[in-house]
Amino acid sequence: MEYASILGISAPTSRVGLGTWAMGGSQWGGTDDDESVRTIHAALDLGITLIDTAPAYGFGHSEEVVGRALAERGGRELVVVATKVGLERRGDGVIRNSSRQQVIQELEVSLRRLRTDYVDLYQVHWPDFSTPYEETAQALLDLQRAGKVRAIGVSNYSIEAMERFRRVAPLASAQPPLNLFEREALEDIIPWCRTNGVATLTYGALCRGLLAGTMNENTRFEGDDLRKTDPKFLPPRYAQYLQAVQRLAQFARERYDKGVLPFAVRWVLDQPGVTAALWGARHPGELEPLRDVMGWRLDDEALTYTDSVVNESVPEPVGPEFMAPPERRPEESGERPGASV
C-alpha cells in the first residue's frame, strides 16, 4: 500500500480509500451488513486505513456499519474515518443544508453511529447555496477546536467556494469526482488543491462500476439502483462506454499484464495532485485487484493512448452531475435568493 498525509490527521492515509456508499443499502440494489463488515475488515487487512462514509448513504446505515466494523475490529486510532455533513433528510430524499445548526446536530448523530468520540476528517458533502460558506466553516472550526473533528474538508466545492471557506477555517481536503471518464477536476480543482496544499480524496474511481470490467450489454440494474438514471448507463452512451472499457482492458492486459480495474485506479493515483482514490466495495472479493494497483505507474505512452481511446469511443461524454442533490428553497432557509453566493 502507498500512504500519504492529510493536515491535522496523525494516522497515515492510504492512497486507496474504501468508499462505503453501497453499504448503506439504498441506491445500489441492496446490501448485506455482515458481508459489508467483512469487506471493511478485509480492506484493513490489505493496508487500507482510509474509510469514507456519509449520513446520506442509506440515511445513516453506512455509518452504522462502519461503526460496527471498527468496534469489532479494534484499533480505531489507526483508521482515518472520513464522514460528511450537510445533506438533510426529507422523506425518501435529501436536500442541501449546511447551516450551523445542521452541522452541529448532525455530527453528534454521526458520532453515535460510528461509535467514536471524534471524526478524523469531517467534510461538507455538497455546497449549500442557501447558507454562507463562512457560516458552515465557522461551525466546523468550532467543532475542530472542541476536539470532535481532527481535520476539515469539503466535497464538490468550486474554487471560489473553497477560497471563501478557508478564510475562516483551515481546509485540509477536497473531494471531487475523478476517473478515466470524468476528468473535469483535472482542469481546475486538483491543480488548485495542489498549489494550496489541500489534499484530494477523489471519488468514483471505477465510475459506478463501469471500469470494473465486469459489465456488458446484458447487465441490468434493479430496484432503486441509481445507475438506472445515470446517462452513462443509457443508450446510446452505454455501448460507447463499454467499448472504451473493452479497448482499455485489452491494452492493460497486453502492456502491463493487469486488469482494467487496477489500470483505472492507477490512472487516478498517477494524476499530479491526487492524494487518494476512493474505491467502493461491499464484498471482500471485490478488493482482490487492489494488490495489482500498487508498485507501478502508467508511462506517458499509456496515458496518451488512454486519452485517445476515451475521446474516440465517447464523442459526447457526460459527467456525474445527475447525482447532485436538490437545494433548499429560499423560504426554507430564511435567506433571500442569492444571498450566499
Question: Does residue 340 contact residue 133 with C-beta atoms inside 8 Å?
Answer: yes
Taking the C-alpha atoms of residue 133 and residue 127, their distance in angstroms, rounded to an integer, is 8
133 is catalytic: no
CB atoms within 10 A of CB 167: 11
Q: What count of residues does the chain have?
A: 341
Enter the C-alpha cell of residue 254.
497486453
C-alpha closest to that of 276 among 15, 13, 80, 79: 15
- Report CA 148 to chain centroid distance, whole Å: 22
Buried b (16+ CB within 10 A) or exposed e, 100-120: eebbbebbeebbebbbbebbb
Residue 339: name the closest of 128, 154, 162 by CA: 128
Q: Which of 3, 57, 157, 203 is catalytic?
A: 57
Distance between CA atoms of 224 and 29, rounded to whole angstroms?
A: 6
What per-residue string of b and e applies to 283-312 under the rule 16 or more CB within 10 Å gives b?
ebebbebbebbbeeebeeebeebbeebbee
DSSP letter assigned to residue 55: T
3-class secondary structure, 151: strand
Q: Give the active site residues.
A: 57
